């Protein structure tokens, strides 16, 4: 009988990605990422999306969408001793009754000023507790007996997933990483039907995703949350016409009868809030959800509902929210332990925790949002960085 495998994401690592020279985003169950405009918050989201695309699509295609390796690798890295572009994800696997810690990642070593690169890639387990491999360009070594020919300038993991159920679970977990920059202007369009059950990065396919949930508990949960901040909402449903998916809301307008509104008649705030809720309750469930600026276009009363919804789901998978909003950061869910600060200094982005004095000052009467208003959020002196190899196993964050 095949053992069940559950995968939890604990950490994202970046080396020379965008402006990040060396960064660790160690995840809480619910993580709030703060930072000024241009600090690098959006690059964290793109790193997660890039990692997913590399496994679900291909490394060359993921690079091409971003203009090639020279556009993705940190500016100035060519002139330094370590110019490798690297990404890794730290995972905790529950395999039957065993708990395993693992790292999957890859490094791209480019030639100065050219679009070419060599690849190092691997899966490593703490204490050798699981099936590992170490790929260095066209050489492949593994703890299990397979001898694939690593494809040039591509990742080997997608080609060996079938060799071991643990590798397959890791690949599926990376495929479940979801980063969102939701755009109400496209959410309100009438897109062609695509039947997808995974919410697109900009939210354009909310109708298709909702269609998969209609009639189930996830659908009822979404309707209850929408009704909590939009008066009179009775139903949120879908329809189709001439190959287009329609998103419809039935609302009691105070006359005792229901009026049906389509997406073009619904406020941008309601559309974006619906997309946030779908990001959290889509099926199959993600392994990690990042939502950029959850407060955008949304009334403060709805913000509390959305943050509460994110907190409700963070027991199933980690949730990361980036925000500039004192209202978001004043929610009781936003504790000092859950806050990460992204700072840009001297051409480099870094991830920090709150320093000890700032963390101690956070309380229900002096929230993170209050401290943001008074410019009183101070980072730890030393950023969250990886010491040593990208594939180093470390203990998960609290």
pLDDT digits (tens, 9 = 90+) for 151-183: 888 999 999 999 999 999 999 999 999 999 999
Q: Which distant-in-sequence residues (6+ apart) come within 8 Å of 346 by Cβ?
A: none
The answer as to whether 218 is a domain residue is: yes
Q: How many domains is the chain partitioned into structurally?
A: 1
* 25-35 per-position pLDDT tens digit: 999 999 999 99
The angle that helices 300-313 and 217-229 make with each other, rounded to 10 degrees, is 150
380 three-class SS: coil
Domain hosting residue 254, numbered range: 187-266
CA distances, 176 to each of 29, 75, 130, 154, 254 (Å): 16, 30, 21, 20, 42
Domain membership of residue 198 (yes or no) is: yes
Whether residue 175 is contained in a domain is answered as: no
For the segment 181-220, what is each residue's pLDDT rounded down to a tens digit?
999 999 988 889 988 899 999 999 999 999 999 999 999 9
Flag whether 202 is in a domain.
yes
Do the domain assignments include residue 213?
yes
Residue 264 has a CB neighbour count (10 Å cut-off) of 10
Residue 96 lies in a domain: no
| End-to-end C-alpha distance for the chain, whole angstroms | 34
Residue entry with tokens 């997913």: 52
Choose the weakest-confidence range: 122-136, 150-164, 190-204, 251-265.
251-265
| Per-residue pLDDT at 251 exceeds 70 | yes
Helix axes 206-213, 217-229, angle to 10 degrees: 120
Q: Which of 30, 24, 3, 20 is nearest to 12 (CA)?
A: 24
> How far is the C-alpha of 101 from the C-alpha of 98, rounded, in Å?
10
Let me know if residue 219 belongs to a domain: yes
For the segment 329-341, what is each residue's pLDDT rounded down to a tens digit?
A: 999 999 999 999 9
Rounded-to-10 torsion of CA 206, 209, 214, 218? -100
Token digits for 30?
Answer: 């619910």
Q: Does residue 385 belong to any structural domain of this protein?
A: no
pTM (two decimals): 0.95
C-beta of residue 282 within 8 angstroms of C-beta of residue 209: yes
Tokens of 85: 């572009």
């Amino acid at each position: 009988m095949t053992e069940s495998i559950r995968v939890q994401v604990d950490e994202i690592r970046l080396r020379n990605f965008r402006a990040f020279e060396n960064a660790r985003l160690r995840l809480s169950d619910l993580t709030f990422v703060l930072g000024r405009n241009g600090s690098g918050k959006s690059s964290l989201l793109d790193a997660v999306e890039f990692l997913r695309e590399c496994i679900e699509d291909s490394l060359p295609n993921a690079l091409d969408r971003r203009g090639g390796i020279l556009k993705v690798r940190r500016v100035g890295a060519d002139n330094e001793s370590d110019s490798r572009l690297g990404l890794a994800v730290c995972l905790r696997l529950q395999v039957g009754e065993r708990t395993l810690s693992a790292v999957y990642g890859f490094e791209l070593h480019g030639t100065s000023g050219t679009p070419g690169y060599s690849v190092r890639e691997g899966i490593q387990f703490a204490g050798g507790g699981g099936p590992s491999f170490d790929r260095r360009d066209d050489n492949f070594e593994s703890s299990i007996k397979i001898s694939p020919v690593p494809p040039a300038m591509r990742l080997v993991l997608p080609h060996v997933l079938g060799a071991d159920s643990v590798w397959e679970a890791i690949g599926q977990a990376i495929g479940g990483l979801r980063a969102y920059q939701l755009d109400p202007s496209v959410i309100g369009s009438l897109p062609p039907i695509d039947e997808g059950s995974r919410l697109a990065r900009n939210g354009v396919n909310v109708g298709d995703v909702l269609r998969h949930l209609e009639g189930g508990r996830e659908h009822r949960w979404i309707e209850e949350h929408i009704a909590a901040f939009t008066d009179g909402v009775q139903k949120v449903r879908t329809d189709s016409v001439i190959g287009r998916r329609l998103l419809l809301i039935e609302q009691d307008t105070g006359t005792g009868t229901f009026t049906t509104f389509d997406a073009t008649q619904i406020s941008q705030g309601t559309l974006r809030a619906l997309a946030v809720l779908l990001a959290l309750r889509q099926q199959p469930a993600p392994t990690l959800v990042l939502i950029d600026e959850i407060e955008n276009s949304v009334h403060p009363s709805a913000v509390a509902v959305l943050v509460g919804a994110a907190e409700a789901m963070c027991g199933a998978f980690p949730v990361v929210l980036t925000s500039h909003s004192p209202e978001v950061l004043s929610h009781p869910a936003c504790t000092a332990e859950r806050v990460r600060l992204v700072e840009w200094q001297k051409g480099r982005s870094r991830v920090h925790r709150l320093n000890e004095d700032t963390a101690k000052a956070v309380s229900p009467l002096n929230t993170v949002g209050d401290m943001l208003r008074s410019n009183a959020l101070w980072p730890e002196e030393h950023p969250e960085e990886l010491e040593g190899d990208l594939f180093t196993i470390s203990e998960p964050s609290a």
